[in-house]
């Protein structure tokens, strides 16, 4: 299983595009972990909307932990951490996995 963790902080303007890219990646078995790191905008509402719509999405709400606990917890898995600045990396998984 491929897991994609997407940390977000005040990412309401870019997060939907990132999530849609992960969902459209073509990976048949996937888990998308969305982590709101204490955002002050509507990031959490957007995360909640997507997690209600898609079963493969897990949501987590942190309090400005800078998501390092998630990174450390996930080191034993094959996992990627795209940021809102490099969301297109998700589309490169096919080349990586081949």
User: How many other C-beta atoms can be found within 10 angstroms of the C-beta atom of residue 38?
Assistant: 14
The 3-class secondary structure across 35-59, one letter per residue, is: EEECCCCCHHHHHHHHHHHCCCEEE
- Report the pLDDT averaged over residues 54-59: 92
Q: How far apart are CA 20 and CA 23, in angstroms?
A: 5
Task: Count the alpha carbons within 13 Å of 68 in the hemisphere toward its beta carbon.
Answer: 3
Enumerate the domain spans of the chain: 2-97
Mean pLDDT of the chain: 75
- Report the pLDDT averaged over residues 78-83: 52
pTM above 0.85, yes or no: no
Q: What are phi and psi of 24, to 5 degrees?
A: -90, 10
Name which residue leads in pLDDT, 82 or 22. Answer: 22
- Report the share of the chain in percent with pLDDT over 70: 61
CATH 3.30.390.50, domain 2-97, yes or no: no
The pLDDT of residue 44 is 96
């Amino acid at each position: 299983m491929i897991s994609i963790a997407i940390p977000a902080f005040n990412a309401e303007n870019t997060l939907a595009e990132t999530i849609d890219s992960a969902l459209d990646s073509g990976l048949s078995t996937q888990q998308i972990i969305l982590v709101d790191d204490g955002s002050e905008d509507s990031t959490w509402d957007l995360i909640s909307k997507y997690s209600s719509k898609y079963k493969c999405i897990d949501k987590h709400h942190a309090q400005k932990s800078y998501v390092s606990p998630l990174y450390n917890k996930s080191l034993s898995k094959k996992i990627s951490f795209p940021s809102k600045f490099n969301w297109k990396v998700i589309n490169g998984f096919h080349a990586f996995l081949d």
